[in-house]
Amino acid sequence: MVRAKDARPQSATSKLHRQMYRDMLVSRELSDRMFALNRQGRAAFAVTGQGHEATQVGSAHAIKRGTDWVLPYYRDVGVMIALGMSPHDILLGLFAKAGDPNSGGRQMPCHWSWPEMRVVTRSSVIAANLPHASGIAYASKLRGLKEVSIVYFGEGATSEGDFHEAVNFAAIHKLPVVFFCENNGYAISESSEKQMSVLHVADRAKGYNIVGQTVDGNDILTVHQTTKWSIEECRRGRGPKLIEAKTYRFSPHTSSDDDRRYRTRAELEEWVKRDPIDRFRTRLIDEGELTAEEDAEMRAQIKREINEAVEAAERAPDPEPADALRFVYGDETAP
Amino acid sequence: MTSKTYIEAIREGLLEEMDRLDTMIVLGEDIQEGGVFRVTDGMLQKYGPQRVLDTPLAESSIVGVSIGMAINGCVPVAEIQFADFAYPAFNQIISEAAKWRYRSNNGWGCPIVVRAPYGAGIRGAMYHSQSIEALLAHVPGLKVVAPSTPADAKGLIKAAIRDPDPVIYFEHKKAYRMVKGEVPDEDFATSIGSAALRREGDDITVISYGLMAHECLQAAEQLADEGAVDATVLDLRTLAPLDRDAILDAAKRTGKVLIVHEDNLTGGIGAEVSAMISEHAFDYLDAPVRRLASPDVPAMPFNGALEDALLPSRETIAAAMRDLAAY
Amino acid sequence: MAQLVMPNVGEGVTEGTVTRWLKREGDDVALDEPIVEVETDKAVVEIPSPVAGKLTKILVPEDSVVPIGAVLAELEPVGAEKPVAAASAPAPASAAASSARAQREARAPAANGATASNGEDFRRTRRYSPVVLKLAAEHDIDLSLVRGTGVEGRVTRQDVLRYIENPTLHTAPPSPTAGVVGVERREAPAPARRAIEQPEAAGRAPEGGDEDVVPLTPTRRTIAERMTASHQTIPVAWMAVEADVTGLVELRERVKDEFQRVEGVKLTYMPFFIQAFVAALKQHPNVNATFTDGGIKRHRSHHIGVAVAVESGLVVPVIRDAGDKSIAGLARELETLAGKARTRKLAVDEMRGATITVDNTGAFGSIISQPIVPVGQAAIVTTEAIRRELRPRDDGAIAVRSLMNLCISFDHRVLDGAEAGAFMRDARLWLEALRPDSQTF
């Protein structure tokens, strides 16, 4: 536990900010490590969220953990860290180990599933879980529960029919769903103008008569505020919200992608200069909520933690072949 | 026991479960006015528009939102208006519902029911007559049922609603008003995965499901009256998982098996049943396992004579039964 | 695919009898060429082929009565595609169905997707289904003994189960092989004794020893099967009568040379014997019959099987419609058939369809015989050697007479002694009525 040198009392807000900052650092470090492990041949596949930290961590901290329903997509390592999933657990998924809490090694890494925290399992099919969010929200409303669903996706997903069907349904019934789009300008190699004729994803909201907001996805506090407001509005029964957070991904789409084929290094460098972590750190230090030494200490500790997690996860047992036949049905009818 | 039509039995099953489970929701297009076949007649008045939900014309999300409802404590029974229109929902059914439990390593189940009217013989032409059960019975993680009698229709809709896994429930649209039968009055559910032995005989075995199961039984009775053939008739009821024990027992009894289904021949349920019998009852076979099905044409034509010519009929079934018995 | 139908010959005729197929399955036919002979109340007509092509399938056997419009045969016109048979039960096989036809019957799936059966001669190729083999192994059964009621005579599971329950009731009749003695394959004889032991496999010569093993020829094998089957399945009774054929002998002596000169063939006693028996058959139709479970099938025509001894064994060519033939006609046909038999040129059609068999055992000097009834017939008669003996005449004087025995073995399921006796008496009387000056027709 890091202690402030000048023993200033920590306000709740500061605590929150430091936690958010920490989550960003963990998310970044973990993302870098997962990618490296793939490049070292120790992990078959990696999909990470470098550059998205402000968007993911900022929004996730607005969620009422364990009450609200969360439907993150594969890039949302920051969301999962913010919700409390440990790097060790995430790495068990990277190495497809039996103890992987998301899928027992059955799905690709970062295909999140955490029933206790109401993180809903999803497939690799883009946008297929948006109708699930609407359905969950319908049930919340029918049962009179004050819970909100938040579903995350990239801007490419907004081209899928399921996006439109899900938003339409939620809008018709004024359901408590926050549709959160992390618009990083690329769907694998395709830049946005190939994906949509509107300039902003949030513009689509008008077509469904709901509120759409565009925010600077690299400004963590704005993201946080916007998400918080949206969630609370949903909780008050004011209908679904569409949030578009503009951000940028530093990594390729996944470890199978070569991003040099569709964007220039110059463009990447431009965005790296606007790294949301650096931006938040600067702000925290400026505001006196963090010192440079604390920052260094935090980073070193995180590195150690993740090193240990990698080591432990890599050594963890693999699933048994017979396990592959289980859980086709709930009553374990043999396949 | 009370005599009911097939559609009455389904409606009753739905109503009884709606009464029993106050988080059960029926949803689909035109559900509130009773549905295009009137299966959900009267339900809006009883349970209100939140539990009897008219959805937008969007099959993918009909199933997609059902999945969401199911994991948040509701019991959704989605209706696809005609099986022919289910394909946009296949992504949700196959990629999502079927794999939900397996991919989460038993973290969650996906207890949805998707009902769809299917089947030909009512001049519905190419997009209101299809049989799609083989496509879905192929997918592990799904349960697929196709009742033929009112008793089974009621028993299986209840079992589907109570099942922890996704169940695709196919109702034969021609059977709705045409098939009548005795239905138990008390609460009951019919096991998913169990076939029903409709008739016992030592000459040949006929395996079928859906409306064709009736035609087969009637052909069998007629041939028995003539003293021509004494047939065992097995009604599969569940297409996935198949009742392997019942199938093999019925096959072994006579050694001569005829599988009859309305769906087209190639890759149909008959192919799987035939393979199962060949693999596991080879030493009991007295004849090659035969199938009688519609030919491989993309869908039923509107022209009545053409449709009749393509579908198996009591006459062609009886002829096939005679032929097999004589082998 | 073209069809040959029973024509409407008008004049209120509603049905006809197929009397003779003039062409065989597989034969080429020209347009308008006569294919079959049909007898109606009014006339015997030859039906010409409606197309030029091939006679692919005969659907109606000889002696069948069919209504006007019935399909008699199928033809493949020249240049037509291979016909697709419907996947329905096969038409009942005519007597001595050839295996060639079975091979030609390629079955294709019907329009509604029903899968088809294998159209092969199961008996001949001895193919058994898995469950039949399993049951046979479990119960130690020789499947060649089991009567098959399935398609093409296939032994079915139920056949084996029935055999297990009652072997005598369900033993197989002999299997037909192409080319030798024609037997009605579909006639199922009833009670039989189980074969006690199988003969040693032919063709295996033991090393040294006292024996000399001669491999079985197909003819021998067939005779063995047929005789065994008859012995096992037909309850046979036998009787003999003695005929005074002095008149016949003198008659023949008187006319034989002239006959040979005019007719060009030798005059033996056989034509007279045949006419005698045919005359008696006409009075006793049950003798010209076949036993079936469904009833005694009385044949309207008289097709006489005449036993001929040839080098490889016994063959029995058939004189069709012997009742229509004169002495000269019979003599001519006998000589032709005997010649063909000796040179092994008899066709299948010439050896099937006999309604009764006449065996001239007298030719070897036999004076009394107990012949074996061919499966499918009600009786077989023998004509024993004519011997000269002293007999008292009516006026008390002793005279030398030509006497011969006529013997009959008959299927006691069809005939009783009284009827057989009456038949034999009539034949005897016919022969005894011949005088040296009788007209020969």
Question: Over its length of 441 residues, how does chain C's per-residue pLDDT go in tens digits?
Answer: 888 888 766 555 677 888 889 999 999 998 888 889 888 765 677 888 888 899 999 999 898 888 878 889 999 988 654 444 333 333 333 333 333 333 333 333 333 334 444 444 555 567 899 999 999 999 999 998 898 888 888 899 999 999 998 887 787 776 544 333 433 333 334 343 443 334 444 444 445 568 888 877 766 777 888 889 898 889 999 999 999 999 999 999 999 999 999 999 999 999 999 999 999 999 999 999 999 888 899 999 999 999 988 876 788 899 999 999 999 999 999 999 988 888 877 876 788 889 999 999 998 899 999 999 999 999 999 999 999 999 888 888 999 999 999 999 999 999 999 999 999 999 999 999 999 988 877
**Chain A, nearest residue to B62 by Cα:** A131
Neighbours of C208 (CB within 10 A): 6
* Residue contact A328–B141, C-beta within 8 A: yes
* Residue contact A136–B72, C-beta within 8 A: yes
* Residue contact A135–B60, C-beta within 8 A: no
Rounded distance, CA B321 to CA C70, Å?
25
Instruction: Output the CA torsion C228→C233→C239→C240 (10° steps).
Output: -40
Task: Say which CATH architecture domain A12-315 belongs to.
Answer: 3-Layer(aba) Sandwich (3.40)
* Residue contact C157–B320, C-beta within 8 A: no
Is the confidence at residue A209, as pLDDT, over 80? yes
Task: Say which CATH architecture domain C226-432 belongs to.
Answer: 2-Layer Sandwich (3.30)
* Residue contact A128–B96, C-beta within 8 A: yes
Mean pLDDT in residue range A48-60: 97
The answer, yes or no, to whether A and B have at least 3 beta-carbon pairs within 8 Å is yes
Rounded distance, CA A282 to CA A297, Å?
16
| Tokens describing residue C38 | 């049909």
Average pLDDT, chain A: 95
Residue with the bigger pLDDT between A48 and C172: it is A48
Catalytic sites of C, residue numbers: 412, 416
Report the pLDDT value the prediction gives residue C351, as an integer from 0 to 100: 82
* Residue contact B56–A131, C-beta within 8 A: no
Report the pLDDT value the prediction gives residue C361, as an integer from 0 to 100: 92
* Strands B196-199 and B204-208, sheet pairing: unpaired
Residue type, A46: A
Half-sphere exposure of B205 (CA within 13 A, CB side): 27
A partners (3+ CB pairs within 8 A) are B
Report the pLDDT value the prediction gives residue C83, as an integer from 0 to 100: 43
Report the pLDDT value the prediction gives residue C186, as an integer from 0 to 100: 38
**Chain C, nearest residue to B252 by Cα:** C131
Catalytic sites of B, residue numbers: 128
The percent of residues above 90 in pLDDT, for chain A, comes to 94
- Residue A247 contacts residue A55 (beta carbons within 8 Å): yes
Report the pLDDT value the prediction gives residue C218, as an integer from 0 to 100: 67
- Residue B300 contacts residue B125 (beta carbons within 8 Å): yes
Does residue B322 sit at the C interface (CB-CB below 8 Å)?
A: yes
Which residues in chain A are closer than 8 Å to B68, comparing Cβ atoms? 131-139, 149
Report the pLDDT value the prediction gives residue A278, as an integer from 0 to 100: 97
* Fold match between domain B2-183 and domain B196-326: yes
Of C74, C69, C77, the closest CA to residue C101 belongs to C74
| C347 Cβ contact list (under 8 Å, min separation 6) | none
Residue C368 sits at the vertex; the CA angle it makes with C362 and C371, to the nearest 5 degrees, is 90
Where does residue B195 fall: left (phi above 0), alpha (psi -120 to 50 degrees), or beta otherwise? Answer: beta
Interface predicted TM-score of the whole assembly (ipTM), two decimals:
0.91
Sign of the Cα torsion A136, A138, A143, A149 reads positive
Three-class DSSP category at A27: helix
Residue with the bigger pLDDT between A249 and C16: it is A249
Which residues in chain A are closer than 8 Å to B105, comparing Cβ atoms? 100, 102-104, 106, 113, 327
Does residue B189 sit at the A interface (CB-CB below 8 Å)?
A: no
User: In this complex, which of B74, B88, B92 lies closest to A139 when CB atoms are compared?
Assistant: B74
Half-sphere exposure of C189 (CA within 13 A, CB side): 32
**Chain A, nearest residue to B55 by Cα:** A169
Rounded distance, CA C241 to CA C237, Å?
14
Longest Cα–Cα distance of chain B, Å, equals: 59
User: In this complex, which of C88, C112, C129 lies closest to B323 when CB atoms are compared?
Assistant: C88
> Tell me: the pLDDT tens digits for B213-244?
999 999 999 999 999 999 999 999 999 999 99
Domain map of chain B by residue range? 2-183, 196-326
Chain B closest-CA separation from residue A294 CA (Å): 39
CATH number of the domain at B196-326, please?
3.40.50.920
Catalytic residue among A65, A88, A173, A262: A262
Please state the φ and ψ torsions of residue C363, each to the nearest 5 degrees: -60, -30
Three-class DSSP category at C337: helix
**Chain B, nearest residue to C92 by Cα:** B326
Does residue B70 sit at the A interface (CB-CB below 8 Å)?
A: yes
> Tell me: the pLDDT tens digits for B272-293?
999 999 999 999 999 999 999 9
Three-class DSSP category at A315: helix
Neighbours of C103 (CB within 10 A): 11
* Residue contact A329–B141, C-beta within 8 A: yes
Residue type, C173: P
Domain map of chain C by residue range? 2-83, 226-432
Does residue B30 sit at the A interface (CB-CB below 8 Å)?
A: no
**Confidence at A66, pLDDT banded by 50, 70, 90:** very high
Please state the φ and ψ torsions of residue B278, each to the nearest 5 degrees: -60, -40
Which residues in chain B are closer than 8 Å to A70, comparing Cβ atoms? none
> Tell me: the pLDDT tens digits for C68-99?
788 899 999 886 544 443 333 333 333 333 33
Return the CATH fold of B2-183.
Rossmann fold (3.40.50)
Residue with the bigger pLDDT between C84 and A8: it is A8
> Tell me: the pLDDT tens digits for A88-102?
999 999 999 999 999
The answer, yes or no, to whether B and C have at least 3 beta-carbon pairs within 8 Å is yes
**Chain B, nearest residue to A148 by Cα:** B72
Task: Say which CATH architecture domain C2-83 belongs to.
Answer: Beta Barrel (2.40)
User: In this complex, which of B264, B282, B327 lies closest to C117 when CB atoms are compared?
Assistant: B327
Does residue B203 sit at the C interface (CB-CB below 8 Å)?
A: yes
CB pairs under 8 A between B and C: 72
* Residue contact B64–A120, C-beta within 8 A: no
* Residue contact B292–C113, C-beta within 8 A: yes
